[in-house]
Amino acid sequence: MRRRKKTPPAAYAETADWLKKAVHSAPRPLPAGFFPRILEHAEAEGFERGTLLDVLDEWLNYGYCRITDSIAQDIEITPEGGRFFYRNL
């Protein structure tokens, strides 16, 4: 198995930007079960799970999304989130 090169943790802004772009490029409306796969891919890219969940918490607080499955951490995009994810890139 190949070893990954150790890199410093990504800053919050980098993590938020990457995650926003991933949601933006996902199918619309966001299919059930798709967001947990985005989180898995982000972790594989080297982003820390805690920082990813901090970004998600911020989105929830702003009303951009709502949790549809708290165990899998799946979300659906709200109308406010549609404006945030799809018009502000």
**What is the per-residue pLDDT for 88?**
63
pLDDT digits (tens, 9 = 90+) for 11-54: 999 999 999 999 999 999 999 999 999 999 999 999 999 999 99
User: Can you state the angle between helices 12-25 and 49-62, rounded to 10 degrees?
Assistant: 70
**What is the per-residue pLDDT for 57?**
97
**What is the per-residue pLDDT for 10?**
82
| Nearest in space to 54 (alpha carbons), one of 24, 88, 25, 16 | 16
CA 30 – CA 24 distance, rounded (Å): 9
**What is the per-residue pLDDT for 40?**
96
Q: Does residue 63 surpass a pLDDT of 60?
A: yes
CA 2 – CA 4 distance, rounded (Å): 6
**What is the per-residue pLDDT for 8?**
67
- Residue pair 65/81 in contact by the 8 Å Cβ criterion: yes
CA 35 – CA 68 distance, rounded (Å): 10
CA 35 – CA 54 distance, rounded (Å): 15
Mean pLDDT of the 77-83 span: 96
